[in-house]
Amino acid sequence: MPTCAFCDSSGKLTGEHVLGGWLSKIGLDLVPVPHSAGQLNRIGRELGVRPPFRQKVREVCGTCNNGWMSKLEGVARRVLTPFILGEPGAISPEDQGAVATWIQKTALTAMLVSSEEDRKGGYGLPASEYHALYALRDKAQPLPGSQFWIGRYNGVRSWSVRATPLAVRVNGLPEPDRPQGYAMTILLGQLVLHGLRFTTPSLQVEVSTGLDLPQLWPPAGPIMWPSRQPLDDDAFLGFAGGKDFRSTEKHIELRPWRPATELTPSQAVGGMIELPTICGKHVVYYPTVLVDEATRGRFYAFGTACACPMAYLIHTEPDGAHCKAADTAEAISELYEALPGEEHAIEDQYGVFRCKQLTVSGPAQSGKATP
Ligand SMILES: [Zn+2]
Ligand SMILES: [Zn+2]
Ligand SMILES: [Zn+2]
């Protein structure tokens, strides 16, 4: 029996609006726009054209929907409506916690739009995020380890809700295999709301934004809106992808978790790793030993080709293999030959696989040894 994503009750599931119904009544342009769910590893997947603000998800119970969520919608409506319409104003510290919680709740709800199957594959936000927010429902406080900001948007989108998984990257260490946090971005009319939540508390770092947006949570005094630089469309995708976060710790960086922003992940198949190629129709294979090498900080380049025919130059990186170039076989072979580094031949039951060890670049070179 399906249960409520937030409280786990098996009561009647009512269908919660991803964006509160009040948004359809404040005079925003209601021209249908392509909905994108911002599914975790297919950012901005289109869900088809539907009337905005009408999209519902089915995994929220009536008690949640009409209780604590509805209270948050009430605060959001009162506080945010003028900004959505571009009217200047202020947010008092007493409202900042509820508005931040509303952002978190809205991002979590939007991620429920991803199909059940996608989420079983690990592509949604963890179920514990929903339960933790429910546990705090009467506190008007977002989850611990979160920060939120508010700004002005001056692009052409009328709305967007996105969540992007983030990796906390410590200088010199390989990228982790799981995200340790996520970014939340909500655009509504002229308003942009941005948030960050660390799901691994030990990796939490203090963060500011490149746009220097006023901080909504934790509260730091009354906020005037608008202030600072507006966000424009050129910057929007990077911003929603978490690229605007600036860690205040020198050796710690926050980045989009890379598997989330790239194509289908590789799969291990009998001693070989299957790598879908960017043509979208084929796969190529490389030896598993290159993955073991990558965990030891040793990376390789190799050329390969699919049946299109199309040739590819592939590099292994801490998070897997990545296509660096796609071209004719001649052009790829030239690129490969031009790479510095020693060539290795790996022999196994499939034949001989040739690759070149890449010289390490980036932070790993700057002093600290990679364990
Ligand atoms: Zn519920
Ligand atoms: Zn192909
Ligand atoms: Zn990569």
Q: Which residue has the higher pLDDT, 87 or 237?
A: 87
Which residues on adjacent β-strands are paired with residue 49? 34
Quote the tokens at residue 305.
């080709």
User: DSSP E strands: which ranges in 189-247?
Assistant: 191-198, 207-209, 215-217, 223-225, 245-247
Looking at residue 11, what is its pLDDT?
77
Express each pLDDT in 28-76 by its tens digit.
664 444 443 333 322 233 333 334 445 566 688 989 999 999 999 999 9
Cα angle: 9, vertex 110, 91; to 5 degrees: 100
ipTM of the complex, rounded to two decimals: 0.47
Question: Which ligand is in closest contact with the Cα of 324?
Answer: 3
In the block, tokens 């990558």 appear at: 294
What is the band of 265 on the pLDDT scale with cuts at 50, 70, 90? very low
Share of the chain above pLDDT 70, in %: 76
Half-sphere exposure of 337 (CA within 13 A, CB side): 6
Nearest to 187 by CA among 156, 220, 148: 156
Ligand 1 midpoint to CA 320 (Å)? 38
Ligand 1 midpoint to CA 47 (Å)? 25
- Collapsing DSSP to helix, strand or coil, 159 comes out as strand
Ligand 2 midpoint to CA 149 (Å)? 43
Ligand 3 midpoint to CA 260 (Å)? 10
CA distance 333 to 312: 9
Looking at residue 276, what is its pLDDT?
74
CA distance 242 to 254: 8
What is the band of 111 on the pLDDT scale with cuts at 50, 70, 90? confident
Quote the tokens at residue 60.
């929220």
What secondary structure letter does DSSP report for 266?
Answer: P
Question: Which ligand is in closest contact with the Cα of 68?
Answer: 1
Q: Which amino acid is at 196?
A: L
Ligand 3 midpoint to CA 255 (Å)? 11
Ligand 1 midpoint to CA 66 (Å)? 10
Ligand 3 midpoint to CA 110 (Å)? 26
Express each pLDDT in 137-196 by its tens digit.
999 999 999 999 999 999 776 777 777 778 887 776 766 667 788 889 988 889 999 999
Looking at residue 291, what is its pLDDT?
80
Ligand 3 midpoint to CA 8 (Å)? 36
Ligand 1 midpoint to CA 74 (Å)? 18
CA distance 346 to 20: 57
Chain-centroid distance of CA 357 in Å reads 31
Which residues on adjacent β-strands are paired with residue 101? none
Provide mean pLDDT across the span 354-370. Answer: 59
Question: Which ligand is in closest contact with the Cα of 174?
Answer: 3
Ligand 2 midpoint to CA 294 (Å)? 26
DSSP line for 304-318: EEETTTEEEEEEEET
Ligand 3 midpoint to CA 325 (Å)? 13
